[in-house]
Chains A and B, each alone.
Chain A
């Protein structure tokens, strides 16, 4: 029992260290790619205006790498520092999925930030990323409150 607890604790620490490193690398990727510049994001979404398609290559590059490595990884019995895979397996196409994604897309187009680049941009110490992140957190709490009554995600 004691050794089991110790092992669990040990892997919690490893998971946390991995998480930090992944966050760090992810942020560098966002910065290099142009995703931390709201004007570029808006340019990518401006299909009917002055369209800047460059950000397509961010998704293309990330998916190309992860598509292959996902297949390789999941051939293993379990991840390196955990006893089981924790991968979403929901299949159902729900109204919440579509309406939620519409709202997210609308906010993305208005502000030019999605969650990862917004957190990364806090490091610019400018006011807009801070205002955005605080509002985003408020939006997450707002959803929880509304969902208590509507049960949109059940």
Chain B
């Protein structure tokens, strides 16, 4: 139990370092839904960093798969249709709401953006309601 809390905190610190690197070096916010959405509409000179970020995430995933495969344990019996609906909602909602857990929840809250604070409260409550209802 407490080991989970410690791992969560360490993982969070690693994520905080990652988004800070992006800011120091590239001057950008690490909003993952926005990075993906931008990569889906190719604009010259604004493409490479987006694609490589996604490749970086995947490469990190491969590394985890090799050294710590249990992090991909998925015990949920989510049905395919539910997964499809979930994906559609996440894709549609993050672009409509201008951000997800990384852009609003980490980067936005860290710079005390009222929009991001409200968005984060909203998506956490919506998630709790849905988990309660289903």
Are B60 and A31 in contact (CB-based, < 8 A)? yes
Are A15 and B26 in contact (CB-based, < 8 A)? yes
Are A45 and B8 in contact (CB-based, < 8 A)? no
Nearest-neighbour CB distance to chain B for A9, whole angstroms, equals 9
**Chain B interface size, under 10 / 10 to 19 / 20 to 34 / 35 or more:** 35 or more
**Given known contacts A101-B104, A101-B126, A105-B130, is B59 in contact with A27 (CB within 8 Å)?**
yes
Q: A103 in the interface, Cβ–Cβ < 8 Å?
A: yes
- B75 closest partner in A (C-beta): A39
Number of interface residues of A (CB under 8 A): 120
Are B76 and A112 in contact (CB-based, < 8 A)? yes
Contacts of A67 in B (CB 8 A): 110-111
Are B92 and A142 in contact (CB-based, < 8 A)? yes
Are B15 and A97 in contact (CB-based, < 8 A)? no
Contacts of A59 in B (CB 8 A): 12, 105-106, 109
Contacts of B5 in A (CB 8 A): 53-54, 57
What is B's interface to A at a CB cutoff of 8 Å? 1, 4-30, 32-33, 36-37, 40-41, 45, 48-50, 52-65, 68-69, 71-76, 78, 80, 82-98, 100-102, 104-111, 113-115, 118-120, 122-132, 134
